[in-house]
Structure 1
Amino acid sequence: MKDCPHLHELPHPEPEPLSDTCLECQKVGSHPVQLRKCLVCGQVNCCDSSPHQHATAHFKESGHAVMRSFEPGEGWRWCYVDGSIV
C-alpha cells in the first residue's frame, strides 16, 4: 500500500452504499463476480473480473478515483489514477 493523494480528497464520513449489488449488472441480466464501492459517491459496481467491468466504467465516466472492496471481510482500496492498492 502507498500514500495516495486521492485519499485526501474523499468525503468523510465515507458515503453510504447506494445499493447492495451492481445495478448495472441487473439491468443487463448479468451477475457480478466481486463488488466494489465508489468512495466518492457510494455507487456499487462489479469488478474487472466481471463480464461488464462496471466499476472501471464508473471511474471512466465520473473520474471518481478511489473505490474499495464491497465484499464481506475485505477493506482494501484501489486508486484508478495511481493504478495501485492504497
Structure 2
Amino acid sequence: MNVPVGLDPHLAFVRDDVEPRTPEGCQECLRIGSPWGHLRLCLTCGHVGCCDQSPRRHARRHAGLVGHPIIRSFEPGEDWRWCFVDEAPV
C-alpha cells in the first residue's frame, strides 16, 4: 500500500475488516483475572488490550511483540488512533 506523503507509513498495517477478538475486555487480563483501565483495539489483527494506565499495559506489549503499530480506542464514544512506533496520533 502506498501511503500519501505526510501520513504515518505505519498506516499500511491498518486493516479495514478488523474485528475485536475479545470484545468483552483485554484478552490477557481476562485470561489471568487482572483488572484494566481502558481498552485499545489493534487495527491489524483485532487484539483487545489494556491501556498504558492499566497495570499490565497489554496493548503496548502486543504492539512491541508482534509489530502491529496502530491501535484505536476501544472505549464507547472515542474514535482516536495512536501509533506506538511514532508515539503520535494518526
5+ long unaligned stretches in structure 1:
none
Give the TM-score normalised by structure 2: 0.86
Partner in structure 2 of residue 25 of structure 1:
29
Deviations for 1:7-27, whole angstroms, at most 9, x for unmatched residues? 13322x240111111021122
Answering whether residue 80 of structure 2 is matched by residue 76 of structure 1, we say yes
Deviations for 1:19-46, whole angstroms, at most 9, x for unmatched residues? 1110211222211100000000011000
The residue correspondences of 1:1-86 to structure 2 (distance < 5 A) are 3-11=7-15, 13-20=16-23, 21-86=25-90
| Bigger RCO (CA 8 Å, 6+ sep) | 1
> Residue 5 and residue 25 in structure 1: after superposition, are their counterparts in 2 closer, same or farther (change >3 A)?
same
Q: Percent identity?
A: 49
> How many residues in Structure 1 have an aligned counterpart in Structure 2?
84
Q: Which runs of 4+ in 1 moved over 6 A?
A: none
CA contact 2:40–2:50 (8 Å) conserved in 1: yes
